[in-house]
Chain A
Amino acid sequence: MRKLITGVAIVMAATFPAIGMAQADPVKVGMITTLSGGGAGLGIDVRDGFMLAVKQSGNKDVEVVIEDDQRKPDVAVQLADKMIQSDKVDVLTGIIWSNLAMAVVPAVVQQGKFYLSPNAGPSALAGKGCNKNYFNVAWQNDNLHEAAGAYATNKGYKNSFILAPNYPAGKDALTGYKRYYKGDLAGEVYTKLGQTDYAAEIAQIRASGADSVFFFLPGGMGIAFMKQYSQSGVDIPVIGPAFSFDQGILGAIGEAALGVINTSQWSKDIDNPTNKAFVESFQAEYGRLPSLYASQGFDTANLLLSAMEKASVKDADAFRAALEEADYKSTRGDFKFNTNHHPIQDIYVREVVKDGDVITNKIIGVALKDHGDAYAAECSM
């Protein structure tokens, strides 16, 4: 009899998901992300993390339209127009690259739509260009680099050689590092975006007399740099943001990455129940370890779901207030929004270690606690 009642209850719950919820207006989400070409790994992870959270919630009121921006700003802009005009989405999300975000986000939020960024956090959107309908669930671009700078300062490094690609996020990276790093610079180099041969830069590092190297080279650029660096015989310690030491990338670099220090707002060994469940279920669902991008997609979806429970998306002010509360269980543990709708969160220091046969990251400390960003003061909403 008890079984029967439970069964009926489950059927009831499945048939009438609205029961017990204050609001049940459906939300249509437009996800524009990179699913083909060189940077596809990041977009695929964000999408998979996001969809995992939607699936786990069992919430049938979320409809997600997913499109591939091919990492091209013009394509992303067209997709955003199409999603707003013909798909009639309420919320947009998904963009990985800062230059694409700059092309899409301002127009989207001006049309009264919400944009939840699962990755890109350009400084222009955090400071003067902030908007009440724009939320960043990942980080402001400078954050992980600031943490790297803080780590270098704590560690007592006095002479860093720093390099990044010559584009806005690369400049944000070096600015972020320098904001918290108090020593001198042995060299500062901007490389070409997409460059894969770093022999010239490594030769300069060797000759510079630096005591530490900080680099921001996302994707294939970082793989190439680390492999060439380890072959060069230069043994100056390397620090970088987590983007170059993600699980997928570590597999491609191999042992050359061992011992490298990197900074991240997320790691698979952050000790909280949400994160443990996330790592396990992601592996079960997709057969691979999640990356920080996957965790960001997952958190973005959970933030959205938490706001849906509190307010209808049709009531923009109430929905915005619900998002601002960030009343969801983040894989990162503590998470709240700053006045400019960017995260205040801990940024960890990780070391690349060999765990059995797998090369992976281990948290060795916290670089910056409850860290916001440098642009919040410039933002007035």
Chain B
Amino acid sequence: MTGALIAEQVLNGLQLGVMLFLMASGLTLVFGVMGLINLAHGSLYMVGAFACAAVAKATGSFWLGLAASLIGAAAAGALVEIAVIRRLYDRDHLDQVLATFALILVFSEATRWYFGSQPLYLSVPPLLAGPVMLPGGIEYPLYRLALIVAGLVVAAGLFVLIAKTRLGIRIRAGESDREMIAALGVDIAGLYTIVFALGAALAGLAGALVGTIQSVQVGMGEPVLILAFVVIVIGGIGSIKGALVGALLVGLTDTLGRFLLPIAFSSFMDASSATSVGSALASMAIYVLMAGVLVFRPSGLFGQAT
């Protein structure tokens, strides 16, 4: 085991983390501002990936596909908010879970009906293809580096948006007291649609960026959704900062766990059972992390105690 390998794995963990942040930030924003549990967030991730793959195939340009993923997911998000989600704000969480679970099924089967059951082709643009040499002799895929940069840029943009802009002020105000800002004359329905579409666009962007190196297929959103929920529970529900820290923690724990646990076990077990025990534990690592955080901080790292 060399330093270069560990550095490479840390980069991999960071990359997973920033992509999880794109998913989790939308989820936590929607929960924080509207108090809504949105299980269909993974479907918006899928919409983004499919929009990117379809447009990239039609036009031959990955970048147009990326734009389409943002627009497509935001539009799908706005549409769903107006048609369905809006009716759920005043109902209890169980109703929201039921309705948004139904949305997952609707999105999945509609996508299958339109695109078929076979996965779509989406590949890295030539500009970002292939590996690059990093200092320290690490050969690393350029696309993954670009993902880390893109994720951090979006995160920075989101912080500026929330902290410095008028929209951000309204979002924060909506989080703390929605009746009051409605009384002050802010169009709360419009604000909710914008927040939901923003979250959807981030999920769609993540779907397109990650779909490029994974598989664009029906049902791709649900495994990521589970991770995103773990992230916001660790970070504290409703906190963007918590989502970022939680996402990076989950990304690093998952990647390094997969890499280090089998090695750790092989020091006192035979290789075959060490890999099997180590990988079984590695797949639990993030849930152990979540449980550990909840023991000491029941409302998450940055959550407000309720």
Q: State the A residues within 8 Å of B (CB).
A: 36-38, 40-41, 44, 166, 171, 185, 188-192, 194, 196-197, 199-201, 203-204, 206-207, 219-221, 223-224, 227-228, 231-233, 248-249, 251-256
- Residues facing A in B251-306 (CB within 8 A) are 255, 258-259, 262, 271-272, 275-276, 279-280, 282-283
Min CB gap B170→A, angstroms:
36
* Closest A residue, CB atoms, query B124: A231
Nearest residue in A to B271 (C-beta to C-beta)? A188
| A197 lies within 8 A of B118 (CB) | no
Do residues B5 and A252 form an inter-chain contact, with CB atoms below 8 A? Answer: no
CB contacts under 8 Å to A, within B209-232, are 210, 212-220, 223
Chain B residues closer than 8 Å to A206, beta-carbon distance: 5, 139
Say yes or no: A196 contacts B215, CB within 8 Å: yes
User: What range describes how many residues of B lie at the interface?
Assistant: 35 or more
- Report if B96 contacts A (CB, 8 A): no
The complex places the Cα of A207 from the Cα of B88 at a distance, in Å, of 51
Chain A residues within 8 Å of B130, by CB: 231, 233
- Contact check: which of A188, A191, A219, A233 meets B139 at CB < 8 Å? A233
0 or 1 for each of B130-145: is its CB under 8 Å from A? (1 = yes)? 1100000001011110
Is B218 in contact with A200, judged by CB distance below 8 angstroms?
Answer: no
Chain A, Cβ-Cβ closest to B222: A38
Contact A38/B217 with A201-B258, A203-B12, A204-B5 known, Cβ cut-off 8 Å: yes
Residues of B within 8 A of A231 (CB): 124, 129-131, 141-144, 213
Contact A199 B218 (CB under 8 A): no
Cross-chain contact B121 with A252 (CB below 8 angstroms): yes
> Judging by beta carbons under 8 Å apart, are B141 and A36 in contact?
no
Contact B213 A228 (CB under 8 A): yes
Return chain A residues, CB-CB under 8 Å to B4: 207
A residues in contact with B255, CB < 8 Å: 199-200
Give bound CA distance, A188 to B278, whole Å.
12
| Residue in contact with B215 in the complex, picked from A36, A188, A224, CB distance below 8 Å | A224
26 inter-chain pairs at a CB distance below 8 angstroms, sorted by A residue, are A38-B218, A166-B279, A171-B276, A190-B279, A191-B279, A192-B283, A196-B210, A196-B214, A199-B12, A200-B12, A200-B258, A203-B8, A203-B9, A203-B12, A207-B1, A219-B215, A219-B217, A220-B215, A223-B119, A224-B213, A231-B130, A233-B141, A251-B118, A252-B120, A252-B122, A253-B121
> Is the beta-carbon distance between A207 and B2 smaller than 8 angstroms?
yes
CB neighbours of A232 from chain B (8 A): 131, 139, 141
**Contact, CB under 8 Å: B117 / A254:** no
Min CB distance, B67 to chain A, in Å? 22
Instruction: Tell whether, in the assembled complex, residue A254 and residue B123 are in contact, meaning their CB atoms are under 8 Å apart.
Output: yes
Interface membership of B109, Cβ < 8 A: yes
Q: How far is the CA of A328 from the CA of B259 in the complex (A)?
A: 49
Q: Are A38 and B219 in contact (CB under 8 A)?
A: yes
Cβ 8 A contact of B112, one of A36, A171, A192: A36
Give the residue name and chain of the B residue nearest to A228 (CB).
Answer: B213
Q: A207-B4, A220-B217, A232-B131 are in contact. List 19 more A-B contacts (CB 8 A).
A: A36-B108, A40-B112, A41-B118, A44-B117, A189-B275, A190-B275, A190-B276, A192-B279, A197-B213, A200-B9, A201-B258, A203-B5, A203-B9, A231-B143, A251-B119, A252-B118, A252-B217, A254-B123, A256-B123
Which residue of the partner chain A has the closest CB to B19? A197
> Sorted from nearest, which 4 A-B pairs have the closest CB atoms?
A233-B131, A220-B215, A199-B12, A223-B215
Task: Chain B residues near A201: list those with CB within 8 A.
Answer: 258
**Taking the complex as formed, is B15 at the interface, i.e. its CB lies under 8 A from any CB of chain A?**
yes
Question: When chains A and B are docked, how far (Å) is the Cα of A125 from the Cα of B4?
Answer: 45
CA of A37 to CA of B220, assembled, Å: 9
Are A166 and B276 within 8 A (Cβ)?
yes
Q: Confirm or deny: B74 has a beta carbon within 8 angstroms of a beta carbon on chain A.
A: no
Q: Please, which residues of chain B bring their CB within 8 A of the CB of A224?
A: 213-215
Asked if B16 is an interface residue, CB under 8 A from chain A, the answer is yes
Measured CA separation A220–B134 after assembly (Å): 30
Q: Which residues of A contact B210 (CB under 8 A)?
A: 196
| CA–CA, A36 and B217, complex, Å | 12
The CA of A227 and the CA of B139, in the complex, are separated in Å by 17
Q: Among B2, B118, B124, find the residue whose CB has the most chain A CB atoms closer than 10 A.
A: B118
Task: Mark B10-48 against chain A: 1 for CB-CB distance below 8 A, else 0.
Answer: 001001100000000000000000000000000000000
Which residues on A sit within 8 Å (CB–CB) of B16?
A: 197, 199
Are A188 and B144 within 8 A (Cβ)? Answer: no
Chain A, Cβ-Cβ closest to B256: A200
Q: Which of B2, B9, B117, B139 has the most CB of A within 10 A?
A: B117
Specify which of B109, B131, B212, B283 is in contact with A166 (CB 8 Å cutoff). B283
Partner pick for A40 among B9, B121, B218, CB 8 A cutoff = B218
Bound: A255/B90 CA distance, A? 51
**Minimum CB distance partner of A178 in chain B:** B272
**A203 CB contacts on chain B under 8 angstroms:** 5, 8-9, 12, 259
A248 CA to B117 CA, complexed, in Å: 9
Nearest CB on B from A284, distance (A):
18
A37-B108, A38-B219 known; A248-B118 Cβ under 8 A = yes
**B1, B8, B131 — most chain A CB neighbours (10 Å):** B8
- List chain A residues, Cβ under 8 A from B122: 252
Which listed residue (B9, B212, B275) contacts A188, Cβ 8 A? B275
Kindly provide the distance from the CB of A142 to the nearest chain B CB, expressed in whole angstroms: 16
The verdict on A223 contacting B214 (CB below 8 Å), with A233-B139, A251-B121, A254-B123 known, is: yes
Q: How far is the CB of A183 from chain B (nearest CB, A)?
A: 15
A143 CA / B194 CA spacing, docked (Å) = 54
Within 8 A of A (CB), among B75-129: 108-109, 112, 117-124, 129
Inter-chain CA distance A227–B217, complex, in Å, is: 14
**How distant is A213 from chain B, measured CB to nearest CB, in Å?**
15
Task: Please report which residues of chain B, range 184-239, place their CB below 8 angstroms from some CB of chain A when the two chains form the complex.
Answer: 210, 212-220, 223
**Alpha-carbon separation in the docked complex, A87 to B185 (Å):** 62
Task: Give CA–CA (A233, B119) in the complex, Å.
Answer: 24
- Bound Cα distance A119, B14 (Å): 39
B271: which A residues are within 8 A, CB to CB? Answer: 185, 188
Q: Cα distance A189–B255 when bound, in Å?
A: 14
A209 CB, nearest partner CB in chain B, Å: 12
With contacts A36-B109, A200-B255 known, is A252 near B216, CB below 8 A? Answer: yes
B56 → A minimal CB distance (Å): 12
